Chain A
């Protein structure tokens, strides 16, 4: 059962990831990425990370992809959508890196089974409660830094995208 769901989610994730890179029209790529995010959320659920699955759907599928679609449709570029000249070089380097990683992973001797039973961890406290407790105690300072990053990004995005806010163009 567990490996069957992994097989399904993994196959769809790999296929849609390749579609994102291969499809010529940006809108189709964004839709493929949307399908991939949904299946990654499903994979998170099978890994007992329910909170992150929900966050993945809300933040990635709900906010980030809408932003992408918005910009793709706003710019509406009519250019040739061909690949770069270094197409073959890129594919070769990618396959080389993939072979390397697969070799390292297969030689590393990683654990085959979870260290503790998955039911035991989930039964003590809910996943959201566990993550929240870690976030607000052990990782409190990084959490505050993350909020600062979001603030800086918000100000920076407004500053760059708004016309004439720097006073250079009237």
Chain B
């Protein structure tokens, strides 16, 4: 039987991969994809805890996380399309209007 800590370490690896992706990629679409990685890492954690502690609440939380992820993707991609229409680029370092 796999111990709970292996699930947590798997989820930590996926989460850190997402964090590194947000830090190192230029393309905004890739940054959004990395955020998806992080959300899925937390979902793995929730489901593993739900199984090991025998509580259904973890699975319900994953359901809500899915809802929020869907909303985030819809709004984020709409922002990207609006940005591309206005500035003709989706590179993160070009979008420095609000940078001091």
Contact = CB atoms under 8 A, between A and B. Distances in A.
Interface string B72-85: 11110111111011
Nearest to A80: B26
B64 interface: yes
Contact of B48 (A47, A94, A112, A149): A47
B81 A74 contact: yes
Contacts of A10: 6, 10
A54 B44 CA distance: 14
Contact of B18 (A17, A30, A101, A158): A17
Contacts of A158: 78
Interface string B43-63: 110011011111011011011
B75 A52 contact: no
B77 A157 contact: yes
Interface residues of B, number: 72
A57 to B, nearest CB: 11
Contacts of A97: 16, 19
B34 A114 contact: no
Nearest to A59: B66
Contacts of B3: 110-113
Contacts of A59: 66, 70
Contact of B10 (A14, A18, A135, A150): A14
Interface string A49-92: 10110011001100110011001101101011111101101110
A35 interface: no
Contacts of A64: 36, 69-70, 73
A10 B93 CA distance: 34
A111 B52 contact: yes
B24 A21 contact: yes
Nearest to A85: B93
Contacts of A81: 26-27
13 contacts: A21-B17, A26-B30, A29-B33, A67-B73, A77-B89, A81-B27, A90-B20, A101-B9, A102-B9, A105-B12, A114-B1, A134-B57, A134-B59
Interface of A: 2-3, 6, 10, 13-14, 17-18, 20-21, 26, 29-30, 33, 36-37, 40, 43-44, 47-49, 51-52, 55-56, 59-60, 63-64, 67-68, 71-72, 74-75, 77, 79-84, 86-87, 89-91, 93-95, 97-98, 101-102, 105-106, 108, 110-116, 118, 121, 127, 130-131, 134-135, 138-139, 142, 146, 149-150, 152-154, 156-161, 163
